[in-house]
Amino acid sequence: MNTTPNAAGHDFPHPPYIKVWAALALFTGIEYAYAYLARDFFGMLVIGLLFWAAFKAGLVGWFFMHLKFEGSWVYLLIIPACLLATILVIALYPDQAYKPEEFEPDRGEQSWQAPGSSALPLAAAPHGRAQG
């Protein structure tokens, strides 16, 4: 355990922030290489990237958010967070699952033009007025 003495000579634990940052940088490089190698296998890519993301998030929480010093009660907060995330995903699923196959964006307001007219549609005309 790394310790740093203070002015009174007492030893206090010295957090390994630089080591954790270096590990996160290394794991980000590994994650990038993994994404490059597994780019043709979508399922394996997603599962692997989720694993690396969860592992790195755990390191950040454990060291930078000081969760290693918390009591075991803090782990009970994970249950409502996961439950809420699941509810939100389930609530948004119908929007994604039932969208039209061929979605055409709104083209804006179009004006009627007489055959042979060179007027621009209202949406394309400057200041909303047709030119003619």
Percent of the chain predicted with pLDDT > 90: 33
pLDDT at 22 over 90: yes
Q: Is residue 125 within 8 Å of residue 118, measured between CB atoms? A: no
Q: What is the per-residue pLDDT for 94?
A: 84
Q: What is the per-residue pLDDT for 68?
A: 75
Model pLDDT for residues 66-124, shown as the tens digit of each residue: 777 777 777 788 889 889 999 998 998 888 777 766 766 666 666 566 666 665 555 55
Could you give the maximum distance between any two Cα atoms of the chain, in Å?
94
Model pLDDT for residues 73-86, shown as the tens digit of each residue: 777 888 898 899 99
Q: What is the per-residue pLDDT for 69?
A: 76
